Amino acid sequence: MSFDDLQQLRNRAHRFLLEADRPLPTPRVARCLFGARRHELPETHAVVRSLLAADPRFIETHDQRWTARGCSFLARPLSETTFTVVDLETTGSVIGVDEIIEIGVVVLRGGLVVERFGSLIWTERSIPRWIRRLTGLGKSQLAGAPTFNDLAPRLYELLDGTVFVAHDIRFDLPFVRWELGSRGYGEAEVAGLCTLRLAQLLWPQLDSHALAELARHFGLTHDQPHRALDDAAAAASLLTRALSAAEALGLRTLGDLFLLSEHFATEDLDASAAEF
């Protein structure tokens, strides 16, 4: 494939993502570029990721989706963005096999908590001993709890149109997306933001960026680690602190958060240049 062919594909992807109202997964971009018959092929996904990663017009979000610089989504002011901070406790880490046994949700808007939601969730699956030790949750604690089917409509309502936040989003957001999708819900229109990634960028000098350690360092309330609502509340407090730190750096939009690593790279270059 010639350079001109590759550039045409990048230009088409750029137009497609500029018009999107949220970041999109690699298969959606692949479908636009290569059609319905090839968009699920692993090699097609590899080509798309390579094309977009090499072009500064594209941004990969914390949940490994794609958006384009200049799109309206990235221009959303942080002060006007609704963040839905989520934490899960599950029977394990295998999506489609393991199940959610507790969920905690804290909704932030304008720096204030506007809603809190938490629930145990009944599962027919056995709960491994190490999960019981970690969370204190066994079948007796879940007896009488609603099922995920019961909670799905409320959860979808809370998430849709917001920014989904978790501490290590690689776990929580794929789990929620799969659970909602397997029950016939359309994909909630969320972008993924990771407080672990933000903390690593904003406070690289800290020895640990685990949620419990960050809560201890900043004096955040975190009385019950590994319980969903308490973890979600701690992550929400951490997000509030991260947003304040971003504002102090002159960052004002959602796009600024996703480009935080570039901001620090530019600062480092400026500092290096000032030394000469």
Per-residue pLDDT tens over the stretch 20-63: 988 999 999 999 999 988 878 889 999 999 999 999 999 999 99
> First-to-last CA distance in the chain?
43
Q: Where in the chain is the domain with CATH 3.30.420.10?
A: 78-258
Distance CA 236, CA 113 (A): 8
For residue 217, what is the DSSP state? H
Q: Is the dihedral of CA 199, 200, 202, 206 positive or negative?
A: positive
3-68: CATH number: 1.10.10
For residue 145, what is the DSSP state? P
Distance CA 262, CA 140 (A): 49
Q: Which stretch of DSSP H or E encloses residue 62?
A: none
Nearest alpha-carbon partner for 171 in 192, 189, 157, 190? 192
- Is the domain 78-258 a CATH 3.40.920.10 member? no
Alpha helices in 20-69 (DSSP H): 26-34, 42-53
With 0.85 as the threshold, say if the pTM is over it: yes
Q: Where in the chain is the domain with CATH 1.10.10?
A: 3-68
For residue 193, what is the DSSP state? E
Contact between 175 and 103 under an 8 Å Cβ cutoff? The reply is no
Other Cβ atoms less than 10 A from the Cβ of 242: the count is 23
The residue ranges of the chain whose pLDDT is under 50 are 269-276
Distance CA 248, CA 31 (A): 40
- Under 8 Å CB-to-CB from 246, ≥6 apart: which residues? 78, 202, 256, 257, 260
Give the Cα-Cα-Cα angle 93, 97, 100 (nearest 5 degrees): 60
- Under 8 Å CB-to-CB from 271, ≥6 apart: which residues? none
pLDDT tens-digit series, residues 62-79: 999 999 999 998 999 999
3-state helix, strand, coil in the chain (%, to 5): 50, 15, 35
Count Cβ neighbours within 10 Å for each residue of 130-158 and write b for 16 or more, e otherwise. Answer: ebeeebebeeeebeebeebeebbeebbeb
pLDDT of residue 141: 96
Torsion angle of the four alpha carbons 127, 129, 131, 137, in this order, in degrees rounded to the nearest 10: 70
pLDDT of residue 262: 86
Distance CA 119, CA 101 (A): 9
85: which strand partners? 106, 165
pLDDT of residue 252: 94
Q: How buried is 73 (Cβ within 10 angstroms: 0-12 exposed, 13-18 middle, 19+ buried)? A: buried
Nearest alpha-carbon partner for 244 in 109, 114, 78? 78
